[in-house]
Amino acid sequence: MNSRQTTPDPLHFDVLIVGSGLAGLSAALLLPATKRIAIITKRAVMEGSSGWAQGGMAAVWNKNDSFEAHVQDTFIAGAGLCDPQATRFVVENAPKGIAWLQAMGVPFSEEDGQLHLTREGGHSARRIVHVTDATGAAVQRTLIEAVKNAPNVTLFEQHTLVDLITTDKLGLPGQRCVGLYALDSDTDEVLTFEAPQTILATGGAGKVYLYTTNPDTATGDGIAAAWRAGCRVQNMEFIQFHPTCLYHPHAKSFLISEAVRGEGGRLLLPDGTRFMTHHDPRLELAPRDVVARAIDFEMKKGGFDCVYLDISHQPLSFLMEHFPNIYARCLELGIDISKQPIPVVPAAHYTCGGVLSDLQGRTDIAGLHAIGETACSGLHGANRLASNSLVECLVFAQAATDDIAQSTTAPTAALPAWDDSRVSDADESVVISHNWDELRRFMWDYVGIVRTNKRLERAAHRIALLQGEIHEFYSHFHVTRDLLELRNLVQVADLIVRSAQARHESRGLHFSRDYPKLLDQAIPTVLNPGN
């Protein structure tokens, strides 16, 4: 990997990749070695959501399973809104993606010389390929090492996307992405990156909510930047709340994997009563939206701070083999999961919507691809089936890079450097932290697991006020990472609320007390910046 050197603006590359999760790193490694690639990531390369993924990757891997069964499970979880073509495309290409990871050296868990397959909620068969209970971290370590050894890849850590640069914004004909601006947090300078192809792989927007399983990096940067550049977004109302986030004051965002329920974990009230029997015949193996609403209902009904997930009936040896990281983390906090239940609460987990993209990961803007959680490929519909997200990253990284490898692009005019000559340093950064806190709290209260028209109206009103304040701040002061992230979160919050207001039914992850019924026809929610 090249070390970064002082280079006159703009910095020239063949492909810019924003984000260093599974989608971004896979794309960098799948592109032809002749391409000069920049990976731009706003923290350290390991700090994205992919590294936090515990469960694994869903793929049809044995004779007792079928592509058709995986497709149907995805359709059922997606509540009728999954795109059939995208779903089949991902399901049929998932085994090839996992085989590529095996070839890269990812140490998937095995049993009797074969990949060990576990089962998770919503799946009709065991098809989850995993590395114990820390799949994402193992995959990331392998790919990061490969990227660091790739001579055609330059890694720009601590660089935050400011905005995309498009030809129409430069007064040139057409609408094409030709580069981007990114803030170097180490120098506080905004650098200009120029390339004929850009891939957005920035992950989701879980930090728009007060409680989330996501890392601090999940601020919707790619979704917001693509929207500002002129891309449509789709299905932003569908925010998946993971049912079981560890409830403990010192356990920030620690997820208790879906696989714990897949291996027999039972959800209990504080008095030990099992409650999923009252909510769904699939019990703890119901899809995440069903389980999350059930927990939310029981907590509000009983005034509980949390519920409990009990796996203590399994032998200690089983727990140590299958959930070593969960066992160790809980034990650090004084919870022995082999003897006592785990306190859990729902938390914002996954952004099912995103930048509208096709089967090659292409967006509305030429030269701009979106893959992974940033994109809305149509795979997840109204609710993501467990462990479909990492394979989506792999499959669309392959599709997008194939598309880029076959494309030819004429050079564009020189890009202008970032101009901050008319702004000053902010005198009160407390405005940013206060607005960030306010946003996350009212999104949790008003746009959470259960919604109403009134709650959405209240959220929309507050978002409009915040947008005015942030625009004024952005126009008058030097940009900082905190300001950029807040600007993006408020934009994403606006898209979530507008999408939720447009859906007059309850479907999948979007549950409205004012529209409790399911409409006969499943129609995606598409927002257009031009409208």
C-alpha span between 164 and 313 (Å, rounded): 53
Two tokens, residue 513: 């007390």
Q: Do β-strands 342-351 and 239-246 pair in parallel, antiparallel, or remain unpaired?
A: antiparallel
What SS3 string covers 44-105? CCCCCCHHHCCCCEECCCCCCCCHHHHHHHHHHHCCCCCCHHHHHHHHHHHHHHHHHHHHHC
Q: Which of 232, 288, 293, 451 is catalytic?
A: 288
Q: Do the Cβ atoms of 306 and 248 come closer than 8 Å?
A: no
User: DSSP 3-state assignment of 442?
Assistant: helix
Q: Do the Cβ atoms of 327 and 337 come closer than 8 Å?
A: yes
**Residue 288 is among the residues annotated as catalytic for this protein:** yes
For tokens 């009728």, the residue is 80
The amino acid at 282: R
Two tokens, residue 293: 């609403």
Q: Do the Cβ atoms of 156 and 4 come closer than 8 Å?
A: yes
For tokens 């057409």, the residue is 174
C-alpha span between 418 and 183 (Å, rounded): 10
Neighbours of 303 (CB within 10 A): 6
C-alpha span between 521 and 294 (Å, rounded): 25
The amino acid at 303: G
Active-site annotation, residues: 288
